[in-house]
Amino acid sequence: MTSQAAMNRPGKDSIYATQLEKVDSFVFDHRVAEVFPDMIKRSVPGYPTVIAMTGVLAAEYVQPNSRVYDLGCSLGASSLAAQEGITAPGCEIHAIDNSREMLDQAQQRLSSESARTPVQFICENVLDSEISNASMVILNFTLQFIETTQRLALLKKIRSGLRPGGILILSEKIAFTDSTEESLQIDMHHAFKRANGYNDLEISQKRTALENVLIPETLEQHFQRLENAGFSRADLWFQCFNFVSLIARV
Ligand code: GEK
C-alpha cells in the first residue's frame, strides 16, 4: 500500500485531519460509527487489554441465568468479549447505546442467533435503562460522557440491579489533582496518539470537540461515588497513563 493509500484506507479515522473553521462538539454520529474501531484503538491507551479482560472477567463472574449489561456499547466490542467469555448457561446480554448509528453497526457485527449467549440491542439513554438480575454491568468509557450530576443516580441504579456476587466494570479517562501529574499524563496520552499516527492538528481539534462532552474525574471521586452508590469495595485493576479500569463489587 502506498503511504497515500494508507492515509485514505477505509475505516481510518481522519475526522479532524483537516483544519476546520469551527470545531463542533463531539457527537457519536455516522461518521464516527464508520471509523470507531480505529479511532478508539488509536486514542485510548490500553483499550484492547480492557476489552480482552472484560471477557476474562465475564468468564469469572457471570452467573447462570443472569444478565450482563453493556452500557454505552458503541459497536459492541465489550459485548462480544463478554459473549465469548461467558461459560454460565441461560444468560443474556443487553447492549445499550443511545446512538442509533453506533447500535446499527453493533447489530451487524454481532450475529447472536447461533451464539450460546444471545445479545439484545437496545437504543436508549442509559439513564432510562432498567437494570435487573445482573451479575455483570460494563461501563467501558461511557460514564465520562454522562452529566456529572447524573452519575451517582446511574451507579445507584446499577448497584440495585446487581445480584449478590455481581460486579461493575468501570473504565474511564481520569483527571489528577496534582497539576504536574495531570500535565505529565496528558503529555503521555498525546505522545501515544502521535505514535499511532495522529498529528498535532488532529489532537488539538479533537480535544476542543471533546471539551464539556467528555468530563474526566479523579480516581478519588470515582471511589467515593462508588461507595456512596452502595458498592462494598472497588479496586483498580488497570491503568495506562490517564485511562483506568476498576472493578466494583456488590
Ligand atoms: C467499547 N463501551 O467499545 N446513553 C447511552 N449511550 C451513551 C450515552 C447515554 N446517555 N452517552 C454516551 N453514550 C464502548 C466504548 S464510547 C467511548 C464506549 C468513547 C454512548 C455513545 O453513543 C458511545 O457509543 C459510547 O457511549 C461511548 O468498549 O468513544 O471514548
pLDDT over 90 percentage in the chain: 89
Q: Establish whether residue 36 lines the binding site of ligand 1, counting it when its CB lies within 6 angstroms of any ligand atom.
A: no
| Residue whose grid cell is 459485548 | 79
Q: Which atom of ligand 1 is nearest to the CA of 32?
A: 29
Q: Establish whether residue 177 lines the binding site of ligand 1, counting it when its CB lies within 6 angstroms of any ligand atom.
A: no
What's the Cα-to-Cα distance from 172 to each of 12, 21, 161, 239, rounded to whole Å?
A: 23, 30, 21, 10
Q: List beta partners, residue 173.
A: 243
> Please, what sign has the CA dihedral across residues 85, 101, 222, 205?
positive
Residues 224-235: tens digit of each pLDDT: 999 999 999 999
Could you tell me the domains of the chain? Answer: 47-174+215-236 (3.40.50.150)
- CA 1 to ligand 1 centroid distance, Å: 33
Our CA angle for 10, 144, 78, nearest 5°, is 55
114 pLDDT more than 80: no
The secondary structure element, H or E, covering residue 119 is strand 119-123
- CA 75 to ligand 1 centroid distance, Å: 9
What's the Cα-to-Cα distance from 11 to each of 39, 41, 175, rounded to whole Å?
A: 9, 12, 30
What's the whole-model pTM score?
0.95
N-term to C-term CA, the chain = 51
Residue of 68 and 199 predicted with greater confidence: 68
Query: Probe ligand 1: pick from 40, 69, 97, max atoms within 8 Å of CB?
Result: 97
Residues 34-86: tens digit of each pLDDT: 999 999 999 999 999 999 999 999 999 999 999 999 999 999 999 999 999 99
